[in-house]
């Protein structure tokens, strides 16, 4: 698979991993979708759309799992793909950290 990233601020993670336990790609997608709707909501997003890098400019998520771009090479060897706006997503996390720290301030 080839990636064309024509924007200066969107990046892609192309992760190839060996799993300690067997899993189908559908199971991995389901786990990523569940995480994006649960404890990682707002941080991780999930897409099954046909996407290009410019679709993620200004996205506040730290990572957007691209379900169509990954593949299971075997039940223990997978390739996963995720996109992120490395300026906007990072800045959003910084603001959230500052807000969290301010909420704990006990001057």
pLDDT of residue 53: 86
Examine residue 66 and state whether it is found in any structural domain, yes or no. yes
CB 78 within 8 A of CB 70: yes
Number of domains in the chain: 1
Contacts of 60 (CB under 8 A, 6+ apart): 42, 88, 89, 92
pLDDT of residue 7: 67
CB 88 within 8 A of CB 58: yes
Specify if 42 maps to a domain: yes
Whether the model pTM is above 0.85:
yes
Instruction: Quote the domain boundaries for residue 46.
Output: 10-104
69 inside domain: yes
Whether 34 maps to a domain, the answer reads yes
User: Does 3 reside within a domain?
Assistant: no
Question: What does pLDDT average to in each consecutive run of 10 residues of the chain (107 residues)?
Answer: 66 94 98 98 97 92 97 97 91 92 79
Token pair, residue 42, equals: 């707002």
Residue 81 belongs to some domain of the structure = yes
Nearest C-alpha neighbor of 45 from the set 29, 37, 30: 37
Please tell me the predicted confidence (pLDDT) of residue 58: 93
CATH at residue 68: 3.30.360.10
Q: Does 77 map to a domain?
A: yes
Question: In the prediction, which pLDDT does 81 show?
Answer: 97
The answer as to whether 2 is a domain residue is no
Residue 87's pLDDT is what?
A: 87
pLDDT of residue 79: 97
């Amino acid at each position: 698979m080839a990636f064309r990233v024509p924007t200066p601020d969107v990046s892609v993670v192309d992760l190839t991993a060996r799993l300690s336990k067997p899993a189908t790609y559908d199971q991995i997608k389901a786990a990523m979708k569940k995480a994006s709707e649960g404890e990682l909501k707002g941080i991780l997003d999930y897409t099954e759309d046909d996407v290009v890098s410019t679709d993620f400019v200004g996205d506040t998520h730290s990572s957007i799992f691209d379900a169509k771009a990954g593949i299971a090479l075997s039940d223990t060897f997978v390739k996963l793909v995720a996109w992120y706006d490395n300026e906007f997503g990072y800045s959003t996390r910084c603001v959230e950290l500052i807000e969290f720290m301010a909420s704990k301030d006990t001057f």
